[in-house]
Amino acid sequence: MAVEVLMPKFGLTMHEGTIQRFFKQAGASIRAGEPLYEVETEKVLYEVEAPASGTLAVTLFGPDDTVECGRVVAVIAEPGEDAGALVAKYRATSISKSGAPPDLRLEPDAPETSASPPPSAGRRAVSPIARKLAGELGVDLDGLIGTGPGGRITREDVERAPRSGSAASSGPAPSGAESEMARARSPSAGTADRAARTIPLRGMRKTIADRMLQSLHQSAQLTISTEADVTAAVELRSRLKRDFDLTYTDLIIHAAARALLRHPRINSRLGAEGIELLTDVNVGVAVALDDGLIVPVIRQASKKSLREIAAESSALGAKAHAGQLKVEDVSGGTFTISNLGGYAIDAFTPILNPGETAILGVGRIIEKPALYGGEITRRSMITLSLTFDHRVVDGAPAAAFLQTIVDIVNFGER
């Protein structure tokens, strides 16, 4: 009996997914558990595995099609089953949202595209926006060298390719006279050498846009900032780095998790019945990707040592850049940290993740003259910015929480 492959639902907030690519063509054989297609959800990229072995009889949607959760995406025919009958069954009811007909090819020996081999064949890491842009510009991804983490091909790599000659010309170069005539006929003559490009607002970028607008419209956000002396934290990191890899973000995560225990109103959410104080302290850390932003979550952070937080933070960051985060890695956060110190930013106004009461913005650490022990001396200073929902907490308690973070970072328990 044929097996229908559905668009999965990876979380309560997921309602649809965007297909990035199929790893198999219609007519190819496939084994249960083998990656069948890649889907971009509101938070992560996910490889959907084949639920059964057999022949991929029909693929009902194509790349960039957005499909509601629970809809049939493909059909797998069992050995000996009439694939032609399956095509007839699904032909009338399955048309992709892009207007293109479903892929109904049935050749058993249909070759698989070299651009999307299964993982066992050593598929190259390519960001979704880079893959889409490469298709628009006619750039061969196989000829590119990725400059992203782990050799991942990024949008910038693709954008550089045409200028470096990677994209093939569609015909002979026009003569000088022809070029002048073409420029004269062009409506943009004299204004730009190339036309503007429109980037579709979809997938991760659309989710960020929707959630940030929702956040600003549905909460009373206020930001307070403080400049703090973190010389002791800088010295502590220098000592501990001899034993394990440690970042300043790890120190902030560790401190914030413990500060949330002392200030439970910050670790809460506003529900239908009132303010819900949460028992779990799950700290999300914003990670910038070349095609968006994602927030992996360190669960039960208040119960973990600094060494454990450093190890988990590093692992989640690596998974984020490799596009390997699972839905469980980015769900359940109760507080978020966004660190822009690596971009030489001193202070900024972070926006709340919907459902959370506060988010901490971390600026760079910079040495500057400061009054310490009654003398002007060189100290390591940092600016911390806390955005909070004024419906849930007032300014004074929020300021006390911010001060607790500073105290723990410098002198708190390890």
Residues assigned a catalytic role: 390, 394
* d(C-alpha 363, C-alpha 339), whole Å: 6
Secondary structure, 3-state, the chain: CCEEEECCCCCCCCCEEEEEEECCCCCCEECCCCEEEEEECCCCEEEEECCCCEEEEEECCCCCCEEECCCEEEEEECCCCCHHHHHHHHHCCCCCCCCCCCECCCCCCCCCCCCCCCHHHCCCCECHHHHHHHHHHCCCHHHCCCCCHHHCECHHHHHHHHHCCCCCCCCCCCCHHHHHHHHHHCCCCCCCCCCCCCCCCCHHHHHHHHHHHHHHHHCCEEEEEEEEECHHHHHHHHHHCCCCCCCHHHHHHHHHHHHHHHCCCCCEEEECCEEEECCCCCEEECEEECCEEECCEECCHHHCCHHHHHHHHHHHHHHHHCCCCCHHHCCCCCEEEEECHHHCCCCCCCCCCCCCCEEEEEEEEEEEEEEECCEEEEEEEEEEEEEEECCCCCHHHHHHHHHHHHHHHHHCCC
**Computed from CA positions of residues 48, 52, 53, 59, in that sequence, does the dihedral angle turn out positive or negative?**
negative
* d(C-alpha 306, C-alpha 401), whole Å: 20
For the beta carbon of residue 392, count every other beta carbon within 10 angstroms. 21
For the beta carbon of residue 407, count every other beta carbon within 10 angstroms. 13
